[in-house]
Amino acid sequence: MNIPLTSETGDIARRIIWFENAETALAGPVRFMAYAAAYATHDDMKRIRTHINDDDFRDALDQAPPGIIDARSWAYWNLKLDRQPAPPLPTRDL
């Protein structure tokens, strides 16, 4: 999966991962998609989804780092991607 750095994706990346520059945020597409699943607007996701397909998004959810996606967003995106029942949220091993 590759999400290119364009003016559009850069603006989205800077907004949803505000503490990093856009290039760094987009360099890790799985992590970027986890933040997008939790914080992107509907319009943001429409733009992001022009660069990835459903299988890419499913893979990103499967590899999502724990602690980024909230339960509501997790349930929503798994439902949208026809994954019912949804797998468990990623958790931290303490």
Query: For 10-52, how does the pLDDT look when each residue is reduced to its tens digit (9 = 90+)?
Result: 999 999 999 999 999 999 999 999 999 999 999 999 999 999 9
Query: What's 88's DSSP letter?
Result: P
Q: What predicted TM-score, i.e. pTM, was given to this entire model?
A: 0.93
Average pLDDT, the chain: 96
Token pair recorded at residue 55: 């299988």
Q: How far apart are CA 7 and CA 81, in angstroms?
A: 27
Binned at pLDDT 50, 70 and 90, residue 94 comes out as: confident
Q: How far apart are CA 75 and CA 87, in angstroms?
A: 9
